[in-house]
């Protein structure tokens, strides 16, 4: 069981993520969208959506720092363990509260606004269960142990997460971890696997190229679809 959860599931989730992205890019670029419901209702969305998205971005950044920056690195730049944990506790909680508050309003809006609810697919509902579940479980796990420095995930979960990259997962590190973290991690991995198969896929189309491209885009017709035949092989045209 331990090996399955912490040695197999992470790779399965990652494989599903990558495979799903490739498959979707190859076969369903038309369905790759945010599926915005703003045209139905924009007052609540204008507040809740930025709150949720900025919150979840901070949450993501916090996970990246927490899991992939070893304690030795932060100590090397002179951040004490206590200071780090205070930052992690307050920063993480703030980001989590933003995200939970945002998604709370968004789900309320989705349920109560008739056109928005009508545009909600079964796929969306499954996604919301896992997204909200992962968020709430993470908050509970974090806040359930506020004694002193909180739960020291930097010596257990983080090294395990890093060991995944060396293809030598240290599953034994996860044995003593509180069960709340276990559940959070499993739900999180399922969520990662779900990303390309739900509307969450829009996170992979963050349009950063907009910052550098020219404002007005010109494109020519695809000659394979319609248009003049390419010149036949032969002599060059006179005058060219």
Partner 1 sequence: MRPMAQVAMVMNLDKCIGCHTCSVTCKQAWTNRRGMEYVWFNNVETRPGQGYPRRYEDQERWRGGWELNRRGALKLKAGGRFRKLAGIFSNPRLPEIKDYYEPWTYDYKNLTDAPLGTDYPVARPVSQLDGKPMKIGWSSNWDDSLGGAPAYGDLDPMVERTRQQASEKVRFAYEETFMFYLPRICEHCLNPSCVASCPSGAMYKRAEDGIVLVDQDRCRGWRMCVTGCPYKKVYFNHRTGKAEKCTFCYPRIEVGQPTVCSETCVGRLRYLGVVLYDADKVTEAAETPDERDLYEAQLGVFLDPEDAEVRRAAEEAGIPFDWIEAARRSPVHALVSKYRVALPLHPEYRTMPMVWYIPPLSPVVDALTETGHDGEDADNLFGAIDTLRIPLEYLAELFTAGDTGPVRASLEKLAAMRAHMRSVNLGEDPDPAVCAGVGMRPEEVEEMYRLLAIAKYEERYVIPTAAVGDAHRLEASALPDTCSLDTDGGPGMGGDGPFGQDSGRRRLPLVPVENFHILRRRQTADDEREV
Where on the chain is the footprint of partner 1 (CB under 8 A)? 27-42, 45-46, 49-50, 52-54, 114-115, 118-119, 121, 123, 197, 199, 202, 205, 207-211, 213, 215-221, 226-229
Q: Which is nearer to partner 1, 176 or 239 (CB)?
A: 239
Rounded CA-CA distance 73/87 in Å is 16
Q: Which is nearer to partner 1, 131 or 137 (CB)?
A: 131
CB of 82 to partner 1, least distance (A): 34
Rounded CA-CA distance 102/7 in Å is 33
CB of 200 to partner 1, least distance (A): 11
Q: Which of 11, 16, 22, 18 is nearest to 165 (CA)?
A: 11
Q: Which is nearer to partner 1, 219 or 233 (CB)?
A: 219
Q: Report phi then psi at 148, rounded to 5.
A: 60, -120
Q: Which is nearer to partner 1, 37 or 88 (CB)?
A: 37
User: Treating both helix axes as pointing N-terminal to C-terminal, what angle do 122-143 and 81-112 enclose, rounded to 10 degrees?
Assistant: 150
Cα R_g (the chain), whole angstroms: 23
Q: Which is nearer to partner 1, 13 or 45 (CB)?
A: 45
CB of 70 to partner 1, least distance (A): 32
CB of 226 to partner 1, least distance (A): 6
Rounded CA-CA distance 97/110 in Å is 20
CB of 96 to partner 1, least distance (A): 17
3-class DSSP assignment, residue 201: helix
Tokens representing 34 are 């945010």
Q: Which is nearer to partner 1, 40 or 87 (CB)?
A: 40
Tokens representing 163 are 């060991």
CB of 223 to partner 1, least distance (A): 9
Tokens representing 31 are 């369905």
Q: Which of 16, 50, 11, 49 is nearest to 198 (CA)?
A: 16
């Amino acid at each position: 069981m331990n090996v399955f959860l912490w040695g197999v599931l992470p790779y399965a989730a990652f494989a599903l993520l990558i495979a799903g992205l490739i498959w979707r890019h190859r076969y369903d670029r038309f369905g790759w969208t945010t599926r915005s419901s703003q045209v139905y209702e924009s007052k609540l969305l204008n507040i809740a959506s930025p709150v949720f998205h900025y919150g979840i971005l901070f949450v993501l950044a916090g996970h990246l720092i927490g899991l992939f920056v070893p304690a030795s690195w932060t100590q090397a730049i002179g951040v004490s363990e206590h200071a780090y944990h205070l930052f992690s506790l307050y920063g993480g909680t703030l980001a989590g509260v933003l995200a939970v508050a945002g998604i709370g309003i968004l789900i309320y809006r989705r349920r109560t606004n008739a056109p928005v609810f009508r545009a909600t697919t079964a796929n969306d509902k499954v996604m919301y269960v896992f997204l909200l579940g992962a968020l709430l479980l993470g908050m509970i796990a974090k806040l359930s142990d506020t004694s002193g420095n909180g739960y020291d995930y930097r010596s257990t979960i983080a090294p395990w997460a890093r060991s995944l990259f060396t293809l030598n997962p240290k599953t034994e590190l996860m044995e003593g971890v509180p069960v709340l973290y276990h559940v959070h991690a499993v739900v999180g991995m399922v969520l990662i696997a779900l990303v390309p198969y739900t509307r969450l896929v829009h996170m992979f189309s963050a349009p950063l190229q907009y910052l550098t491209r020219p404002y007005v885009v010109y494109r020519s017709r695809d000659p394979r679809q319609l248009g003049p035949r390419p010149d036949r092989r032969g002599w060059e045209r006179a005058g060219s």
